[in-house]
A and B are shown apart, each in its own frame.
Chain A
């Protein structure tokens, strides 16, 4: 099955700085990619769904880049603020419908933004 490596496990940045989280996947099959944000005591909140055909995806205050050559998915938070402090998870799910609806999650990155 697919394995997803996420790094770094912990990240601390100052307010206004950028923060980059990277996930690396192994299977060459096509996937949907997801980024989730989890605040303390809460469930996972979907930030963005990325299709394998789109390399650059813009969100509110962040950009998601898909590098298919290197099999990497990155979340780039621009001008981080304290409200961005949370645990971030990447996830992948195979596009091909074989009855496998399993979402595979990365290990998570705990981001702390210091004011």
Chain B
């Protein structure tokens, strides 16, 4: 899947700061960050629609999203905690086109916290 690219693919951290990056090449107007812990479904962390943050789930304040333009999404993480070990997926959709709207996922960033 090259339509939504995420970097890095794998990340191993101690208590450090790091940013995850995502770019979508689908022309979508909504982008999402999902967290998927082992053996669990994806959980929504943040949602941007037309670059405006309109859904902000109750995630720890050490996670800060940023949407520099409609095709890019960042997730800044400061002082990670072992409970943050998971796969972080970026996703996008075209809202406002109801019949055609569907959620597309990137390949994810696997974060392992030491």
Residues of chain A at the chain B interface (Cβ within 8 Å): 32, 34, 36, 42-46, 49, 51, 89, 91, 93, 95, 97, 99-103, 105-108
Contact = CB atoms under 8 A, between A and B. Distances in A.
26 contacts: A32-B101, A42-B108, A43-B1, A43-B89, A43-B107, A44-B42, A44-B89, A44-B105, A45-B105, A46-B102, A89-B41, A91-B103, A93-B101, A97-B95, A97-B96, A97-B98, A100-B55, A101-B30, A101-B55, A101-B95, A102-B44, A102-B55, A103-B44, A105-B42, A107-B41, A108-B41
Interface of B: 1, 4, 30, 39-42, 44, 47, 49, 54-55, 89, 93, 95-96, 98-99, 101-108
Nearest to B89: A43
Contacts, number: 56
Contact of B103 (A99, A103, A107): A103
A32 B30 CA distance: 17
Contacts of B98: 32, 95, 97
B103 A34 contact: yes
Contacts of A107: 40-41
B102 A106 contact: no
Nearest to B41: A105
A34 B106 CA distance: 17
A46 B41 contact: no
Contacts of B55: 100-102
Given A43-B1, A43-B89, A106-B41, A101 B49 contact: yes
A105 to B, nearest CB: 4
